Amino acid sequence: MNASAAGSSGPIVVAGAGYAGLHVALRLAAKLRSQPAVELTLVDRHDYHQVITELPRVAGGTRAADAVRIPLQDMLAGRVRFVQAEITGFDLAGRRLLTGAGPIGWSRLVLALGSRPSDFAIPGLADRALSVYSASDAERVWAAVSAALMAAAAAADPGRQRRLATVVVGGGGATGVELAGELAEILPAMASDRGLAPGRPAVQLVEAGPAILAGSSAQLTGKAARILSDLGVQVRTNAVVAAATEDGFRLTDGQLVEGGVFVWAGGVKAPELVADSGLPTGHNGRVKVDRYLRVLDHPEIYVAGDLASVTDPRTGHVLPPLAQVALEEGETVARNLDAELEGKPLEAFTFHDKGFVVSVGTRRGVADIAGITTGGRLAHLLKDAIEWEYRQSVRHLRGWDPAAW
């Protein structure tokens, strides 16, 4: 498709400075050095970018929350105008983003607002369980675990002590597995520090489906389950949470899973404000896009990251909410915005799967890369390398030369 008909040199606004939005802004900032008239604005509620893939380490106390908050001023070249504001809605007809800092007009808008944890309307869940979707969330998990262990150490009744020292994680996807592994590895030392027997704390992982890491190969799932078992995590599969009460997670079969801390990692959905936007949405409220990542019937709006509902033509399935997908989509959106400015053809999005890596505890992990499944120390090193490489790439993009693009 040739973009010249849609060509525009008006303001470009990127909503969200996460994996997708930051990538679009950094790529475009460099490209627009030769287009000084085009205004590029990035909007986020925070003045920092969060390395969300490292949050389980913050929740487990092995990484400081500030270490996963990267100040945007350290990353954005002067070419990008940054506005720190809460985005509250969209004026699609007037082409304005509505924010706490006032409306921001756009000629092209990029929506990259990520996801919110989904409680699937399970009664009590939102009030009773913590989540891990921001550095502050992860800090709260760490603080709650720490407080629960202190309370357990002070409890005289062994039953009460056992219950308080148990962390229950709901959802056996990658986030739940990483969190459960991290906590299981760290809890014995934490318990000792608080005067509790190192063997007293327990971690339970509750998964509604028949296996953890749904969608992965049986080999990968088996390796992850073995490491979790080795760490003492009790994994309950086919365990569907019906309600969260003061006493614990009540399963559909009537069983009560008791604990001192409850964390929900059971799934995500699009932010609520998108549901009220009038934009076409699909599964989990994600926005439907065409092959160029433009909203259906709104070619002036692109979507990238978790918020985009993109079907992989090779599998027929919607791509999962993953950082690597968000980065690739951000790349395509930046290229297409540039193509519009240059009057060149737009590029259809194609996902190049680099594989799947999950850490399980502080030393081991599992990985499926290029058809090879591995579990153990190597997979954990791979995860470390991916996170290190991501941080390097962000730094590199700031001073990046578009001539090499």
Ligand X SMILES: Cc1cc2nc3c(=O)[nH]c(=O)nc-3n(C[C@H](O)[C@H](O)[C@H](O)COP(=O)(O)OP(=O)(O)OC[C@H]3O[C@@H](n4cnc5c(N)ncnc54)[C@H](O)[C@@H]3O)c2cc1C
DSSP state of 363: T
Name which position in 72, 112, 145, 293 contacts ligand X (CB under 6 A): 112
Q: Can you tell me the distance from the alpha carbon of 149 to that of 280, in angstroms, rounded to the nearest whole number?
A: 46
What residue has token string 């389980």?
56
CA separation (Å) from 328 to 87, 179, 319? 24, 26, 12
Contact 42, 73 (CB under 8 A): no
- The nearest distance, CB 317 to ligand X, in angstroms, is 16
270 in contact with ligand X (CB under 6 A) = no
Q: Which of residues 4-23 bind ligand X (CB under 6 A)?
A: 16-21
Alpha-carbon dihedral sign for residues 390, 65, 330, 270? positive
Site for ligand X in 161-180 (CB under 6 A): 174-175
Q: Taking CB under 6 A as the criterion, which residues in 49-68 touch ligand X?
A: 52-53, 55-56
Q: How far is the CB of 40 from ligand X (least distance, A)?
A: 17
Q: According to CB under 6 A, which residues from 314 to 333 bind ligand X?
A: 321-324, 326
Q: Are 304 and 331 in contact (CB under 8 A)?
A: no
The least distance separating ligand X from the CB of residue 278, rounded to whole angstroms, comes to: 16
Contacting ligand X within 81-100 (CB under 6 A): 86-87
Rounded Cα gap, residues 173 and 385, in angstroms: 21
Q: 137 or 200: whose CB is closer to ligand X?
A: 137
Residue 318: DSSP 8-state? B
Closer of 150 and 351 to ligand X (Cβ): 351
**Choices 61-69, 107-115, 239-247, 339-347 (CB under 6 A): range interacting with ligand X:** 107-115
Non-local (6+) Cβ contacts of 76 within 8 A are 25, 26, 29, 42, 82, 398
Which residue, 114 or 181, is less far from ligand X as judged by CB?
114
Strand, coil or helix: 20: helix
Q: Name the region of 25 (left: φ>0; alpha: ψ -120 to 50; beta: rest).
A: alpha
SS3 251: strand
Q: Which of residues 221-250 bind ligand X (CB under 6 A)?
A: none
Q: Which residue of 170, 271, 361, 365 would you call a contact of ligand X, by CB under 6 A?
A: 271
Question: Which residues of this chain interact with ligand X, rule CB under 6 A?
Answer: 16-21, 44-46, 52-53, 55-56, 86-87, 112-114, 132-133, 174-175, 271, 273, 305-307, 321-324, 326
